[in-house]
A and B are shown apart, each in its own frame.
Chain A
């Protein structure tokens, strides 16, 4: 929703009344659990007092109305997420106690632990690949911030016994502050690829200090890995030796590398555009000291590297789709706007299958082939009398 400020309102500075009316309309019409008001460039530049509007709206309609001061000129997308994370920590987390565990979900011999997954965005519904395993292990997810969660889930995040930061450096501060304030231990992990998924489950076992849980986790890992290994075998055969160029931001820069390596692929280069030093260290561990790390996000440069490295597929975010297709290069979309899930054990099979489908697609030979009139030999069959 937007207040759709007009030029007059922008010029005259009438935005505050407009905002209050807008909040009122939204609250009475849609009855939300909370309202988040995002400050954009113009009100920020004007110095609109959004904070006082949201405070008064909160009092008037008796629901949380929170300001997220994130004007575009402050910085990049990551910074915006950091700001939002801070708002959630300061104003939302800790404002409600978790519901009691429903009787129907209690199972004998399984001690339930509360956990959070911070920076799990449930892209394309992919977290639903992994969620059943948490249920099976007795790990109650209080909140996935914020892929598949509700406002009231976020309110209870302070009661977790362990946190995992899934894919977001930007929300790292939420995990850190939960640790400082509530002494909740956390780790960074990933659900991309078989080994990363197993490792993440093991980390929970370690942090929660429950020997029985550790044993059950190992059991689940063994079962799932055996199943996946069997299903992946035919795909792995088709991917072994295939060369991938991976260009994804930050965290995914190494989690995707490990997922591709799991499949027997050679990662010829990877992007480190938004990676931290820690990410880069991980990449170097995975790829060896001679790894080619790309910090230039220029599309033409990436395509050049692709050719130089004799890669078979480019795995990147959606802004690289059409440049690579124009260059007749197989592509796998790893962006956050997609309807295919790659997370967890099931996702690893999907990931492998999508790469196979892209690399082996019959169109590539046809679009790369020179037309017959550019060749010396003509092809049509002549049935002369």
Chain B
């Protein structure tokens, strides 16, 4: 049982939280032919774009309604309508993610009303899906914003009522933003290995995995789950939900479609992986593929090999709640204690995590807590690099953003193989940081006359 405390400072130093609107935009980047449109000021969108570009090393389709000082004072609904018209007519997206920002929300902008007005004014664009998301920085960061966008997506695009296709092998997957494109790719392969047909909403593995296309650059997303696949979620035999932040999105989907869902807080560690494998085995009625059993055996071997290096070590972890839950479960299962974690939102379910203390705060809290608990390993985003240097404690980059690491988007954390690689990475960091005993020099030590340093060459 963990104690959740708020960082009591008036000042946030080296913030951990990434704005909700970033998460909401991310969700729309996993849809095919999609264009996220931020309703807010230019600078907001510029930073969202910059963070994504540096993390994914991809061009990021993102537009803004460019609210200026006059619109801020006099009302900005007109900006929404004008922006929608412009991006639709210029870029021809299939889906527009209309993401409001904190400024717009506070100013009193009503994006739903503005959207209604746009629909009345421009019936010619009726075939373009427009999904409004209120990304208002109240509780939570990127994971919460991503979840809000998924909820909005389901509410807007998925028709009510179950329509199971005969003998459908379709499986819906809702995957929290803690999952990298690399993770989602592995998850899809995992499901496919049982002859099931995965549909990930949104599918970052199909868009932000980093792939060169013959078409070259596109102002819209390249790849991602299609609108029609989203609309047919009711045909699935089951929905897999990865990450507690998607609980509400899952509720909405289940209420609408009556497709049974199976919720996982993590797919790291042998236990969580076994649960999914077992579920897929039951859903499909297929034998467990030999390759999966082999990867499981490889993970178990890595666990016994690495236990020497993880035993008795401790880590301090910072990140959004889903990611924390996944990492702390994994770390504990391989023998790394996590005495303290820093997170972005006070979520009561976090209290069940196997840690002593959860601080709702910033990376400065991570630094203090890591010192207080003598952590031997830090897990946080790239903004903790300087802390790692100051403390002389190795950092494993997790979460978002990771701008100083190539391939962060492609790294796989989940599954038997991903868990194994992460365990290797952690063990190597601990091993390299390990210091041998200090030599003891006796007070009676005879003068080191024969040491090569002291003797002149003959």
Contacts and interface: CB of A to CB of B under 8 A. Distances in A.
16 contacts: A32-B452, A61-B458, A62-B458, A132-B440, A135-B443, A142-B446, A150-B450, A151-B450, A325-B304, A358-B311, A366-B271, A366-B333, A367-B270, A367-B300, A378-B282, A380-B282
Contacts of A124: 436-437
Interface in B290-340: 296, 300-301, 303-305, 307-308, 311-312, 332-335
Interface of B: 250, 254-255, 258-263, 269-271, 274-279, 281-282, 288, 296, 300-301, 303-305, 307-308, 311-312, 332-335, 434, 436-440, 442-444, 446-452, 455-458
Contact of A104 (B311, B333, B443): B443
A131 B437 CA distance: 13
Contact of B275 (A131, A328, A380): A380
Interface in A94-133: 98-99, 101-102, 104-105, 112, 124-126, 128-129, 131-132
Contacts of A378: 278-279, 282
A105 B443 contact: yes
A125 B436 CA distance: 8
B286 to A, nearest CB: 11
Contact of B263 (A32, A128, A131, A383): A383
Contact of A358 (B307, B333, B444): B307
Given A33-B450, A129-B437, A382-B262, 16 more contacts: A30-B452, A99-B446, A128-B437, A128-B438, A152-B450, A153-B446, A156-B446, A353-B312, A358-B307, A362-B332, A371-B274, A373-B277, A373-B281, A373-B288, A378-B278, A385-B255
Contacts of B278: 371-373, 378-380
A357 B311 contact: yes
B349 to A, nearest CB: 15
A363 B450 contact: no
Contacts of A62: 458
Contact of B254 (A31, A98, A131, A383): A383
B333 A363 contact: yes
Interface of A: 27-28, 30-33, 61-62, 98-99, 101-102, 104-105, 112, 124-126, 128-129, 131-132, 134-135, 140-142, 148, 150-153, 156, 325-326, 328, 333, 339, 341, 353-354, 357-358, 361-363, 366-367, 371-373, 378-385
B335 A363 contact: yes
A203 to B, nearest CB: 20
B448 A150 contact: yes
Contact of B442 (A33, A131, A151, A385): A131
Given A132-B440, A362-B335, A372-B278, A384 B260 contact: yes
A100 B333 CA distance: 57
Nearest 9 pairs between A and B by C-beta? A33-B450, A125-B437, A357-B311, A128-B440, A140-B444, A105-B443, A385-B258, A363-B303, A325-B304
Given A32-B452, A33-B450, A381 B281 contact: no
A135 B441 CA distance: 10
A208 to B, nearest CB: 15
B72 to A, nearest CB: 43
Contacts of A358: 307-308, 311
Nearest to B257: A385
A378 B307 CA distance: 29
Given A363-B303, A366-B303, A381 B262 contact: yes
Contacts of B311: 354, 357-358, 361
Nearest to B270: A366
B444 A101 contact: yes
A31 B450 CA distance: 9
B457 A31 contact: yes
A363 B269 CA distance: 10
Given A140-B444, A325-B304, A361-B307, A383 B436 contact: no
A61 B255 CA distance: 91
A168 B281 CA distance: 58
B458 A27 contact: yes
Given A112-B444, A373-B281, A366 B439 contact: no
A94 to B, nearest CB: 15
Contact of B437 (A126, A333, A380): A126
A363 B444 contact: no
B302 to A, nearest CB: 9
A112 B311 CA distance: 42
Contacts of B261: 382-383
Contact of A135 (B250, B335, B442): B442
Contacts of A32: 450, 452
B280 to A, nearest CB: 10
Contacts of B333: 362-363, 366
A102 B457 contact: no
A341 B262 contact: no
B440 A380 contact: no
B336 to A, nearest CB: 10
A108 to B, nearest CB: 14
A383 B260 contact: yes
Given A61-B458, A383-B260, A385-B260, A341 B437 contact: yes
Contacts of B277: 371, 373
A207 B143 CA distance: 72
Contacts of A371: 274, 277-278, 296
B304 A367 contact: yes
A53 to B, nearest CB: 19
A125 to B, nearest CB: 3
A384 B438 CA distance: 60
